[in-house]
Amino acid sequence: MKAELSLDEIKQIALAKIREHRGCHDVEDVSICPIASTDPDPNWAISCGIGGSDKTAAAKAALYVEQEMQGKYRLQAEA
């Protein structure tokens, strides 16, 4: 079973994990975008805000982190 986290919690974890990747230490921000679909999983995606980082490295890291995290975390439904 996946852990349900708030948007802010997923955002903090994703940003920290992306910054661990080579060439991504200065990624400034990430956005977590809820996905509305008939399929309940995944229900969110990452959009990366790139500062001085290598854009290609940051995009690859964001995709890798998104796939890894979507297997573990689910976005909580808004109240």
- Domain locations along the chain: 3-74
Sequence-distant (6+) residues with CB within 8 A of 75 are 4, 5, 6, 7, 10, 32, 34, 43, 44
Sequence-distant (6+) residues with CB within 8 A of 49 are 27, 28, 29, 30, 31
Position 77 scores a pLDDT of 80
Is the model more confident about 54 or about 50? 54
Give the CATH class of 3-74: alpha beta
Reported confidence tier of residue 11, pLDDT bands at 50, 70, 90: very high
pLDDT at 7 over 80: yes
pLDDT at 49 over 80: no
Position 79 scores a pLDDT of 56
